[in-house]
Amino acid sequence: MKRVVITGAGTINPLAHDVAGTLAAFREGRCGISDLDIRDKDRLAIQIGGQVHDWNPESHFNRQQIVLYDRFTQFTLLAAREAVAQSGLNFAGDLSYESGVILGTAGGGLTTSDENYRAVYEEGKNRVHPFVVPKLMNNAAASHLSMEFQLKGPSFTVATACASSNHAMGQAFHMIRSGLTRAMLTGGSEAMLCFGGIKAWEGLRVMSKDACRPFSANRNGMVQGEGAAVFVFEDYDHARARGAEILAEVIGFAMTADASDIVLPSKHGAARAMAGALRDARLNPEDVGYINAHGTGTAANDKTECAAVADVFGHHADRLMISSTKSMHGHLIGGTGAVELLACIMALREGVIAPTIGYEEPDPECALDVVPNVARQAKVDVVLSNAFAFGGLNAVLALRRV
């Protein structure tokens, strides 16, 4: 089996339009959740979100590209350009055929759907722009990355709601580990902060109207975010041979299905996913220093996740750190695991653990070290990144410092 390393990272999210700015925000415990700036906001009960502000697609794409790229594709391309530039890879010759792209998204081009439903239903128009389908399809971002970087190997999009990015990155990991490919662009993207996208979530009544406070006793729901993160996963030998800088090693991955409820999380499903990732990476529970939690800030997720951690790690659960960066960038749904992987890489490389901000009151059902409010210096060798989706589909990645 091949070893798999990360040699490039890129992002745009509510905290910053690049990795450096995002990590600075993590270190400062800065909140990127703000008042929403969208059409028909006055008809929404939810007025806040982790929105990407100051986004000018014209600075990055030409007119023909903009008419073809939904917001989620634009975010993906920006993040991918940063990741590929950092990796120094040029996907030419044989490498082009041995590289692909696997991305996660839940809503795909939801903004495009929203705008065009509005045009035909609300405004009564009988004609829509010819690019509606190529813009809204969930694989649009993956396809545009394949075109921009000439990735001609296995490429597709994964949709497992809030675990989409982790499932996508797990597939990329498996492909390189098995020798099927040598390099992969992987991660995820989401741009659901439009009227319909928020109205749908409102309906579920799991949204907070004021803040995302994971693990805090007074938490009152999740806050939606948007953005993307993309990574270059690469065969370790390939990366070493060309002298690439290695950000971290991906050492394990596991997926499970709760097979129980379409929205309620299951402790057993989450625990099996974490235990599976440890087994896959040949780790003991004591090896893990930090877990980037799914930590949505809902009553159900956070207590279930903490109970699952306690089950898997036993006494070590009280010694490891677990934080949710969703408190800062919101829940990026299908893109969330990718942005959160940045906090894992920061923990391994810089020895800085991103905090859970907005933490106000201890909850006896979440009695773990959640790194409240302030980032912490700590040397960790191994981290896990959790993602537990609606529909009971769980995906956990294990990473190691190199």
Partner 1 sequence: MTQSVQERVIAIIAEQAVIDPSEVGMDQTLEDLGIDSLGLVESIFAIEEAFDISVPFNANDPKESSFDISSVASIVAAIEGLVAAQAA
Region for 156 from its dihedrals, namely left if φ exceeds 0, alpha if ψ lies in -120 to 50, beta otherwise? beta
Residue number, 67 or 85, with CB nearest to partner 1: 67
Of the candidates 203, 233, 238, 209, the residue with the CA atom closest to the CA atom of residue 222: 209
Question: What gap in Å lies between CA 200 and CA 198, rounded to an integer?
Answer: 5
Question: What gap in Å lies between CA 22 and CA 224, rounded to an integer?
Answer: 17
Residue number, 59 or 64, with CB nearest to partner 1: 64
Smallest distance from partner 1 to CB 189, Å? 22
Q: Which residues pair with 207 in a beta bridge?
A: 222
Region for 399 from its dihedrals, namely left if φ exceeds 0, alpha if ψ lies in -120 to 50, beta otherwise? beta
- Spatial neighbors of 266 by CB under 8 A, at least 6 apart, are 258, 260, 304, 392
Residue number, 63 or 315, with CB nearest to partner 1: 63
Smallest distance from partner 1 to CB 67, Å? 7
* Active-site residue set: 162, 294, 331
Residue number, 53 or 63, with CB nearest to partner 1: 63
How many Cβ atoms are within 10 Å of 381's Cβ, its own excluded? 14
Residues forming contacts to partner 1 in the complex (CB under 8 A) are 63-64, 67-68, 127, 129-131
Residue number, 64 or 377, with CB nearest to partner 1: 64
Smallest distance from partner 1 to CB 134, Å? 8
Smallest distance from partner 1 to CB 128, Å? 8
Question: What gap in Å lies between CA 385 and CA 395, rounded to an integer?
Answer: 8
Smallest distance from partner 1 to CB 95, Å? 28
How long is the chain?
402
